Amino acid sequence: MNDYRHLLLIGTIACAAALPALAQTDYRYQSAEDPARQTAQPSQPAPQQPVQQSQQAAPVAPPPPPCTNCGTVDSVRVVEQAGEASGAGMIAGGVLGGLLGHQIGQGRGNTAATIVGAAGGAYAGHQVEKNLKKSTRFDISVRMDDGTLRNVSYDTDPGFKTGDKVRLVDGKLSRN
């Protein structure tokens, strides 16, 4: 047991003697510009120069200039615009409704039915005319390669989808 204590004491003394040397070592990362690192490092051998080959690399073609009118379809929106009624549908509907209402009942009931039929027919005729004159428009937003956003409208479905690569020429889109 005495030998064990003796070995433990010697090991403790050896560790205590090594501590000051370890405490003085700087373990931080030092950049190449750090003056302490430049003086502390041993000189390194000069890097070897690469052997030049007798063959020269083929010249690399410059990249093509960026496309100023190219982009990607960002969104396609279908916009329905209600048509404007001219009044012809209301007049025609009123006359037709009045004729149909006049066929119902006798006396005062007949008069009331004619008035209600004319009013209902006028409203229905107005709505039918607006429905017939409504228009559908396709608004396409294009994110250009330079980051700008452009909008193009079509009266008929041009068939573009979000993500399609397109080119804008004279206000119209074409597939790229």
pLDDT band for position 55 (cuts 50, 70, 90): low
For 98-134, the pLDDT digits (tens) are: 777 778 777 777 788 888 888 888 888 888 888 787 8
E-state strands within the chain:
70-81, 135-144, 149-154, 165-169, 172-175
Q: Where are the domains of the chain?
A: 69-83+134-176, 85-132
The residue with greater pLDDT, 34 or 100, is: 100
According to the per-residue pLDDT averaged within each range, which of 16-20, 57-61, 103-107, 170-174 is highest?
170-174
Stated pTM of the model: 0.44
Q: Is the dihedral of CA 96, 100, 103, 106 positive or negative?
A: negative
10 SS3 class: helix
By CB atoms closer than 10 A (0-12, 13-18, 19+), residue 110 is middle
What is the full DSSP assignment across 11-34? Answer: HHHHHHHHHHHHHHS--S---TT-
pLDDT of amino acid 71 = 92
